[in-house]
């Protein structure tokens, strides 16, 4: 079982923590109340909305899980991430990014694959209320100041990938 360290809450009351995942991957963990996380949307500040009719999809603070529940959900979700699974996802992310960057130039693809594989690092994990997971990668040499969001499906396969 993966245990969370340095457990705290952010300004919205969501759990934040540090975890060591298999393969020595030390990451930040963020609990996200919105289990319908959409990578195409910007920051979701529904908790700050003054619209109390909840027509905008806001979250009622009274219905938020407590810290123990968020911790349990996060630890259970993270426990599914084996070293083999994380290595495979990372390879798939590297390949997808390299193929997109190289376009049709096969000679660049091999160099990009090697470059990205050496550069990419798992930096964070977002765990949703339903146990869903998004992995956050950084590749500071190839994508400075950008984060690679990798939304996983229930089978821990890549469902969506976005660089932002």
Choice between 97 and 47, residue whose per-residue pLDDT is larger? 97
pLDDT of 40 above 80:
no
Q: What percent of the chain has pLDDT over 90?
A: 67
Whether the predicted model's global pTM rises above the 0.75 cut: yes
Domain boundaries, the chain: 4-163
Phi and psi dihedrals of 21, rounded to 5? -90, 165
Closest CA relative to residue 25, chosen from 83, 67, 72, 69: 83
Up-side HSE of residue 78: CA atoms within 13 Å toward CB? 27
pLDDT of 52 above 90:
no
Average of per-residue pLDDT across 10-14: 90
Report the C-alpha gap between 98 and 92 in whole angstroms: 10
Q: Are 29 and 124 in contact (CB under 8 A)?
A: yes
As beta bridge partners, residue 134 has 126, 151
Pairing of strands 25-32, 121-128: parallel
Q: What is the pLDDT of residues 103-148, one digit of tens each?
A: 767 777 888 899 999 999 999 999 999 999 999 999 999 889 999 9
Report the C-alpha gap between 87 and 73 in whole angstroms: 23
């Amino acid at each position: 079982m993966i245990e969370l360290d340095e457990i705290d809450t952010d300004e919205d009351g969501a759990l934040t923590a540090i975890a060591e995942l298999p393969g020595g991957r030390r990451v930040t963990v963020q609990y996200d109340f919105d289990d319908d996380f959409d990578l195409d949307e910007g920051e979701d500040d529904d908790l700050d909305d003054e619209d109390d009719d909840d027509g905008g999809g806001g979250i009622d603070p009274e219905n938020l899980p407590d810290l123990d529940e968020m911790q349990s959900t996060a630890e259970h979700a993270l426990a599914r991430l084996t070293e083999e699974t994380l290595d495979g996802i990372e390879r798939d992310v590297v390949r997808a990014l390299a193929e997109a960057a190289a376009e049709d130039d096969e000679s660049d693809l091999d160099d990009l694959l090697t470059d990205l594989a050496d550069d990419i690092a798992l930096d964070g994990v977002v765990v949703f209320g339903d146990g869903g997971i998004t992995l956050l990668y950084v590749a500071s040499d190839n994508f400075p100041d950008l984060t690679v969001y990798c939304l996983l499906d229930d089978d821990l396969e890549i469902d969506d990938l976005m660089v932002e």
